[in-house]
Amino acid sequence: MAEQPSTAAAPPSDLKTRPAGSTEHSWCKAVPGGTGITVFALLLSKPPNISLLQNTLHKLQNSNPILKSKLSYSPTTNSFSYTIPATSHLQIQPFDLSSTADILRNLKTSDHNSVSDFHLIFENELNNNSSWVNTSDSNTDVLFVSIYQLNDEKSVLTLRIHTSVCDRATGIALMSKLVELMREENGEGTKSELLKKMEVGLGIEECIPAGKANKPFWARGMDMVGYGLNSLRYSNLKFMDSESTRESQVVKLGLNKQDTLRILDGCKTRGIKLCGLLAAAGLIAAHSSKGLNENQWEKYSVVTLVNCRSILDPVLIPDFPGYYHSAILNTHDVKGGDDLWELAKKSYTSFINAKNNNKHFSDMGDLNFLMGRTIDNPSLTPSSSLRTSFISVFENSAIHTTSTVHQEIGLEDFIGCTSMHGVGPSIAIFDTIRDGQLDCACVYPFPLHTREQMQELIGEMKRILVDW
């Protein structure tokens, strides 16, 4: 009989506090610098009832206790921990028309003129780490919810979540449940299957199958040296301003249904996933943006993020809340004239070979250590940019299909991703197949890179994908 996924890789159900795992600790260190703020924003044409919505969020937090936890830091042990209260006390922060207008007025600079008010509010939330910037503060919430009133009809609902408790899979599941439950705000009750009580899971390191993370001492040392030395050889996009205070900005990459179907069929025919193709298009676009000689080679690094829930011990259900992604870092030599599909096959093959060799488990500690070193010593990176790779992609795309539920609650648009202006890649791609169309939120650090620069890069990526 096949093993059934566990609903919890958890300590005893009466546990009220647990320490952060190593990967969670890395995110706790990264968030004050601007990396690891996960935001989901919904554009609504029907104003939600704040009281009923708040009640719904309380139920979601109580059924997913890690999302109602309080984050604490101990300077004595230099460690973080999560304390889980008995009930949710979340309070939605509302911004009326006047307050929203003031916020938008302050946000609208020459660099922001080309984006919508919805987009501006999303980016504003993405750069709001004030709640987590001071590690000496104890018992800080990991989830904050706001509603911005754009006009008499439209509003924006935002959820800002600490990434240490919310990877992409958690965020997508949370938003899906919230949308379904918002339909029940008319007093008909809630769907019990959406509020199934989860336990507080252990950190991902505690759930790695026996032997999968093993690595000989000397091999670990050699890998650490290799990661450090290779990072000095990585090529980067041109840094526009490496001195000014940074924030995360987002540009969109989208394809129509016909082009999306064509590239997905191309991936299927060649036995690769979309992540390999997106990475390859990004690498070719980056090389092209520099106007280099066609035969001039450059070395770029690619990080691929893996959702590990299905391969942990015990196996976790797909929507189990927490951070259960790991990363695989590969490097690729790129020159002008590279064939898109050949590079995509090479990129994906390098990733899958590393995964088959358990690098997503065995290198987890190494990458967490290097991430911490980079945060503490920005000068170890070119121009103190804190860039650890050129691009990051997810192994699997998110899938979204519009339903009548979205129409009933007035959901017109949505966007979700994580901030990257502290330590991280130059561009992080959060891809979704949305009603059959590729829709990517591409996050980058500004003004290290500018919106104009990234729009040109994304535009070139789109051209490469469409014209292959």
Considering 167, 189, 204, which residue would you say is the last residue of a domain? 204
Q: Would you say residue 1 lies in a domain? A: no
Q: Would you say residue 454 lies in a domain? A: yes
Residue 96, number of CB atoms within 10 A of its CB? 10
Q: Would you say residue 281 lies in a domain? A: yes
Same domain, 53 and 128: yes
Same domain, 417 and 307: yes
**Mean per-residue pLDDT, 74-89:** 92
Instruction: Return d(Cα 56, Cα 54) in angstroms, integer.
Output: 5
Q: Which two tokens stand for residue 20?
A: 């952060």
Instruction: Return d(Cα 303, Cα 330) in angstroms, integer.
Output: 6
**Mean per-residue pLDDT, 438-461:** 97
Q: Would you say residue 401 lies in a domain? A: yes
Instruction: Return d(Cα 397, Cα 393) in angstroms, integer.
Output: 9
Instruction: Return d(Cα 221, Cα 145) in angstroms, integer.
Output: 43
Place of tokens 């003004």: 447
**Mean per-residue pLDDT, 158-165:** 98
Q: Which two tokens stand for residue 117?
A: 């008010």
Q: Would you say residue 46 lies in a domain? A: yes
Considering 179, 204, 229, which residue would you say is the last residue of a domain? 204
Instruction: Return d(Cα 245, Cα 255) in angstroms, integer.
Output: 33
Alpha carbon 370 to chain centroid, angstroms? 19
Instruction: Return d(Cα 437, Cα 441) in angstroms, integer.
Output: 13
Q: Would you say residue 5 lies in a domain? A: no
Instruction: Return d(Cα 273, Cα 373) in angstroms, integer.
Output: 32
Where does the pLDDT of residue 47 fall: very low under 50, low under 70, confident under 90, or very high at 90 and above?
confident
pLDDT in tens, 350-378: 999 999 999 999 999 989 988 998 999 99
Q: What is the CATH number of the domain that holds 411?
A: 3.30.559.30
Same domain, 212 and 188: no
Instruction: Return d(Cα 238, Cα 232) in angstroms, integer.
Output: 15
The residue type at 215: K
**Mean per-residue pLDDT, 262-287:** 97
Q: Which two tokens stand for residue 330?
A: 């590969």
pLDDT in tens, 241-260: 999 999 999 999 999 999 99
Same domain, 353 and 420: yes
Q: Would you say residue 375 lies in a domain? A: yes
Same domain, 353 and 434: yes
Q: Would you say residue 4 lies in a domain? A: no
**Mean per-residue pLDDT, 264-268:** 97
Instruction: Return d(Cα 328, Cα 307) in angstroms, integer.
Output: 11
Same domain, 260 and 178: no
pLDDT at 98: 96
Alpha carbon 346 to chain centroid, angstroms? 24
Q: Where are the beta strands (DSSP E) in 15-169?
A: 17-19, 35-44, 70-74, 79-83, 93-95, 140-141, 143-149, 155-162
Range of the domain at 457: 208-467
Same domain, 158 and 240: no
Instruction: Return d(Cα 66, Cα 219) in angstroms, integer.
Output: 35
**Mean per-residue pLDDT, 147-175:** 96
Q: How many domains does the chain have?
A: 2
**Mean per-residue pLDDT, 398-414:** 90
Same domain, 170 and 279: no
Same domain, 166 and 216: no
pLDDT at 137: 64
Bridge partners, 301 (sequence order): 331
- Select from 137, 209, 260 the least CA-distant residue to 362: 209
Asked if 289 and 458 count as a contact pair (C-beta separation under 8 A), the reply is: no
Same domain, 289 and 434: yes
Q: Which two tokens stand for residue 129?
A: 């780490």
**Mean per-residue pLDDT, 190-208:** 82
Instruction: Return d(Cα 278, Cα 392) in angstroms, integer.
Output: 10
Same domain, 231 and 330: yes
User: Does pLDDT of 407 surpass 90?
Assistant: no
Same domain, 220 and 260: yes
pLDDT at 224: 55
Considering 142, 173, 204, which residue would you say is the last residue of a domain? 204
**Mean per-residue pLDDT, 440-459:** 97
User: Does pLDDT of 186 surpass 60?
Assistant: no
